[in-house]
Amino acid sequence: MSESQIDFRQTKFLISAPDIAHLDQYLPGDVGVEIAFAGRSNAGKSSALNALTEQKGLARTSKTPGRTQLINVFSLAADRRLVDLPGYGFAKVPLALKNKWQLALGEYLQKRACLSGVVVLMDIRHPLKDLDMQMIEWAVFSEIPVLALLTKSDKLAQNVKMKTVNAVRKDLFKFGDWVQVEPFSSTKGTGKPKVLSILNKWCNPQWLLDQQALEKEKQEQHD
């Protein structure tokens, strides 16, 4: 399947699952390609998904952060899926429930073999919190590419926005090609073409294999 064949406007809700065990029941075999969306509960995850797919009601949005309590899976095309993971770090819910969400999040990231990329969404005014960095570091360690998406970029003046973007890129430079940083606005559409281009590339499993092979070659040369 070529990159040009992915039409994100055709995205459809597929299933919700409380944990990876239930996910395996609905999607046996752990096959195909999944791109996960992760971030703090107030990062604008649902709004970003709706904007990228041009569907206002695809992912449920709420003025109360932390409403995404399940692993929500959306179908892109044959064996291509977007996955909205439970938000972390902010939700005002009982500790036991928050721990349950975190367990589901961790299990998915650690055990889902078809995971091809992770979009880590962060409010551009408050980027790179501890949990964000943990998410990025885990993905890179697991050789899964990351898009650090700085949401709500329309909230900042252009010069402040670019200063913040450049500062985050500098902080994440050590991860090399595994991490890309882009500003994004769900309301203004800022960054949308770039993000869709990256997601299209991730939908091609061969790209990830080539990236892993290149990294291995670099490591061997360094050794």
Concatenated DSSP letters of 108-136: HHHH-TTEEEEEEEEETTS---HHHHHHH
Tally of residues, the chain: 223
Res 92: pLDDT: 64
Local confidence band at 107 (pLDDT 50, 70, 90 cut-offs):
confident
Residue 97, both tokens: 């429930």
Neighbouring-strand partners of residue 16: 72
Predicted local confidence at residue 100, as pLDDT? 72
Residues with Cβ within 8 Å of residue 219, at least 6 apart in sequence: none
185 band by pLDDT with thresholds 50, 70 and 90: very high
pLDDT tens, residue by residue, 41-63: 889 998 999 999 999 888 875 55
Question: Between the CA of residue 78 and those of 82, 114, 196, 204, what are the distances in Å?
Answer: 12, 13, 18, 12
Segment among 14-23, 72-81, 84-93, 105-114 with least mean pLDDT = 84-93
Mean pLDDT of 99-123: 85
Looking at residue 211, its pLDDT comes to: 66
pTM: 0.86
pLDDT per residue as tens digits for the range 147-167: 999 999 999 999 999 999 999
